[in-house]
Structure 1
Amino acid sequence: MKYSFRQLEVFLAAAHFQNITRAAESLAMSQSAASSALKELESQFDIQLFDRVGKRLQLNELGRLYRPKAESLLAQAKELEQAFSRHTEVGALKVGATLTIGNYLAVGVMAQYMDTPTRPRVSLEVANTQTIAERVREFELDIGLIEGELQSTDLEVIPWREDRLQVFCAPHHPLAAKGSLTDDDLRAATWIMREPGSGTRQSFERGMHGLLPDLNVLLELEHTEAIKRAVEAGLGIGCLSQVVLADAFRRGSLVPLAAPSHRSFDRQFYFILHKQKYRSAGIDRWMALCQAL
Structure 2
Amino acid sequence: MRYTLRQLEVFLAIAQAGNLTRAASELNMSQSAASSALKDLETQFDVLLFDRVGKRLQLSDRGKQLRPAAERLMGMADDLEQSLLNNADAGPLNIGATLSIGNYLAVQMVAEYMSLHPDAPITLDVENTEHIAERVLNFELDVGMIEGEFQHPHLDIKPWRSDELTVFCSPDHELANSGKVTDQQLMAASWILRESGSGTRQAFNRAMRGLLPEMNIALELQHTEAIKRAVQENLGVGCLSLMTLEDEFQSGRLVRIRTPERDLHRRLYLILHKQKYQSAGIQAWMDLCQKWSS
Q: Whole-Å Cα distance in 2 between the matches of residues 133 and 59 of structure 1?
A: 19
Superposed displacement of residue 171, structure 1: 2.1
Shift in Å, 1:220:
0.9
Partner of residue 42, structure 2: 42
Deviations 1:181-205 (A, max 9, x none): 1111001111111111110000000
Which letter maps to 1:283? I
Matched, 1:19 2:13: no
Contact 1:92/1:282 (CA < 8 Å) preserved in 2?
Answer: yes
Partner Cα distance (1:71, 1:232) in 2 = 47
Q: How does 1:142-291 map to 2 (within 5 A)?
A: 142-261=142-261, 263-291=262-290
Give runs of aligned pairs for residues 94-173 of structure 1, distance below 5 A.
Answer: 94-116=94-116, 118-173=118-173
Asked whether the 8 Å contact 1:97–1:126 carries over to 2, the reply is: yes
Distance (whole Å) between structure 2 residues aligned to residue 257 and residue 150 of structure 1: 28
Check conservation: 1:90, 1:285, Cα contact below 8 A: yes
User: Does 1:66 find its partner at 2:66?
Assistant: yes
- Equivalent residue of 2:186, what SS? helix
Asked if structure 1 preserves the Cα contact closer than 8 Å seen for 2:203 and 2:266, the reply is yes
Q: Secondary structure at the match of 1:286?
A: helix
Contact kept in structure 2, 1:183 and 1:260, CA below 8 Å: no
What do the CA deviations read for 1:209-246 (whole angstroms, capped 9, x no partner)? Answer: 01111111111111111111111221111111011111
Q: How far apart, CA to CA, are the structure 1 residues paired with 2:64 and 2:13?
A: 13
Q: What amino acid sits opposite 1:154 in the alignment?
A: H
| Matched-pair contact (CA < 8 Å) for 2:88–2:119 | no
C-alpha distance in 1, partners of 2:117/2:39? Answer: 42
Is this contact kept in 2: 1:179–1:258, CA < 8 A?
Answer: yes
| Secondary structure at the counterpart of residue 134 of structure 1 | helix
2:171 match: secondary structure: coil
What TM-score results when the alignment is normalised by the length of structure 1?
0.95
- 8 Å Cα contact 1:72-1:277 kept in structure 2: yes
Q: Quote how far apart the aligned CAs of 1:167 are.
A: 0.8
Taking a change above 3 Å as real, the CA distance of residues 233 and 20 of structure 1, as seen in their structure-2 partners, is: closer
SS across alignment from 1:34: helix
In structure 2, the partner of 1:81 is 81
Distance 2:99 2:110 in 1: 15
Structure 1 SS opposite 2:28: coil
Measured after TM superposition, the shift of residue 117 of structure 1 is 6.5
Q: Measure how far apart 1:54 and its partner are.
A: 4.4
Cα distance in 1 between the residues matched to 2:179 and 2:252: 17
Q: Distance in 2 between matches of 1:19 and 1:202?
A: 34
- State the one-letter code of the partner of 2:274: K
For each residue in 1:22-51, what CA deviation from the matched residue of structure 2 results, as whole angstroms up to 9, or x when unmatched?
A: 222221222222222112111222221112
1:76 partner SS = helix
The answer to which of 31-40 and 185-194 deviates more is 31-40
Whole-angstrom distance in 1 between the partners of 2:33 and 2:249: 59
In 2, Cα distance between equivalents of 1:36 and 1:185: 66
Say whether the 8 Å CA contact 1:168–1:254 is kept in structure 2. Answer: yes
**Paired residue total:** 292
Tell me how far 1:285 sits from its aligned partner.
1.6
* 3-state SS in 1 of match to 2:48: coil
Preserved CA contact (<8 Å) 2:78 2:91: no
2:75–2:277 Cα contact (<8 Å) kept = yes
Output the amino acid matched with 1:248: E
How much does 1:62 deviate? Answer: 0.5
- Structure 2 unaligned runs (5+)? none
For 1:134 and 1:186, the matched residues in 2 are separated by 33
Distance change in 2, residues 1:39/1:226 (3 Å): same
Helix, strand or coil: the match of 2:235?
A: coil
Cα RMSD between the aligned structures? 1.4
User: Percent of aligned positions with the same letter in both sequences?
Assistant: 58
